[in-house]
Amino acid sequence: MFIAYLTTLLSTAYKVPGEIDPQKSFMELDVDSLSLAELGAHLEDELGVSVEEEELSAVTTVAELAELLEARGAVIPA
């Protein structure tokens, strides 16, 4: 569920081209540090979970972030 949410967000708001492999890190997907900071703030605003800077770094993969959101009990807004 969170993988689909994140890949959609990355495709639309962050313009990551093509199909997104969730096993890839943000560095491999060319998501820069400013975008990552913005993404962290967005997740806090929208999903109501705290994501620390070390949990969302260039080497974090999309799947790892999705797991973390799930573990924190994030809720995707309707």
Write the DSSP symbol of residue 68.
H
Candidates 1, 4, 8, 15; binder of another protein (CB under 8 A) is 15
13 touching another protein, by CB under 8 A: yes
Residue 62, judged by CB atoms within 10 A of its CB (0-12, 13-18, 19+), counts as buried
Nearest distance in Å: CB 34, another protein = 7
- CA proximity to 48, closest of 19, 75, 10: 75
Nearest distance in Å: CB 50, another protein = 7
Q: Which residues between 17 and 56 bind another protein (CB under 8 A)? A: 34, 37-38, 40-41, 44, 50
